[in-house]
Amino acid sequence: MPCERISSRLTEEKVMPETLIAANGIEVVYRARRRAGRGEIGGVKVLHGVDIYIDRHETIGIVGESGSGKSTLGRALLRLTEVTAGSITFEGRNITHLPDSQIVPLRRRMQMIFQDPMSSLNPRRSIRQILTEPLLFHRVATDKADANRRVRRFFERVALPLSCLDRAPHELSGGQRQRVGIARAALLEPDFVLADEIVSGLDVSTQAQTLNLLKALSREMGLAMAFISHDLSVIRSVCDRVYVMRHGVIAEHGRCDHVFAQPKDPYTQLLIDAIPLPRIDPGWLTRGTDGGNQ
């Protein structure tokens, strides 16, 4: 719906925002195992033609239940998963089938923060190594000293004690590890950050700290962000726009204030109704579910 997209943008800002990443009609099929003598058997299509765009400086949410394809969509945008149809553009340039040699320079500009920092941080490296190595690899820092300087400066920004620098990931708390994950992505001064379920394992207070930090960083650094989450409340509090996914298609998308106030798709309504709020609401449990049946 290009008309709707342009009009909603015009009401928001006078300057036309620039699209950073866009995907058109992308499909992803996960192939089944090859078995000897039987060739390739079937495959599972997990994205059925998805259109999505992310403007510069904008935070979008991708929400859906398990198996809806939200993580696959995120990975496809970063070219971490190959698409079987459709196209992906970055700053207007088609990157759908860019060879690896040309993708590497783009990797710095498209960063990812993972759900579980315990398994996404190398357990045998110190936090210092984890943070300085990408800076040197991508030549953001000129030498080791420069890399160290940048890391130390950034540590203050993300409120991590310097004593963490020479520790291993397992010696940090969950919230600290997640801030290391954020620092690793943000230190490379990317244009786009994909955050996949990054607060689902954290306590509420740590969750609030982490989300506030990301909101502030994206503002300061002018980042575009995509937030993947199953939690509509998280999406509502950090995102400008939201895409609701179900069974590999976009059920609904639009500005958060619109979608949450007046969802057009019944599935969005169902998701909203299923969020328990911390307030007394005696009818909630029996409302809206199909009698509790599967």
Partner 1 sequence: MTNPILRISDLNAISDLDGRPILRGVSLDVAPGQTLGLVGESGAGKSTIAKALLGILPRTVRIASGRVVFDGRDLRELPERELNRIFGDQIALIPQDPLTSLNPGRRIERQLTDGLRLRRKLPWRQARIRALQLLEEVRVREPERVMRSFPHELSGGTRQRVLIAAAFALEPKLIIADEPTTALDVTVQKQVLRLMRDLQTHHRTAIVFVTHDLGVVAQICDRVTLLFEGRVVESGTTAEMLETPKHPYTKALIAAGPRYDRPDAGLQPVGDEIINALRADIVASDGRESHA
Among 19, 209, 218, 268, binds partner 1 (CB under 8 A): 209
Instruction: Determine the number of helices (DSSP H) and then strands (DSSP E) in the chain.
Output: 11, 12
Among 46, 252, 256, 268, binds partner 1 (CB under 8 A): 256
Q: Per CB under 8 A, does 18 bind partner 1? A: no
- Work out how close the CB of 266 gets to partner 1 at its nearest, in angstroms, rounded to a whole number: 12
Closest CA to 255 of 242, 264, 267: 242
Closer residue to partner 1, CB minimum distance, 76 or 211:
211
- Concatenating the DSSP letter of every residue in 216-259 gives HHHHHHT-EEEEEES-HHHHHHH-SEEEEEETTEEEEEEEHHHH
CA distance 241 to 113: 19
Q: Count the residues of the shown chain that bind partner 1, applying the rule CB under 8 A.
A: 43
Is there a contact between 246 and 64 (Cβ–Cβ < 8 Å)?
yes
Closer residue to partner 1, CB minimum distance, 16 or 208:
208
**CA torsion through residues 71, 77, 80, 82, sign:** positive
Q: Per CB under 8 A, does 170 bind partner 1? A: no
Q: Per CB under 8 A, does 278 bind partner 1? A: yes
- Work out how close the CB of 108 gets to partner 1 at its nearest, in angstroms, rounded to a whole number: 30
CA distance 194 to 51: 17
Closer residue to partner 1, CB minimum distance, 38 or 287:
287
Q: Per CB under 8 A, does 269 bind partner 1? A: no
CA distance 56 to 71: 21
Q: Which residues sit at the interface with partner 1, rule CB under 8 A?
A: 65-66, 174, 203-209, 211-212, 230-238, 256, 260, 270-281, 284-286, 288-289, 292-294
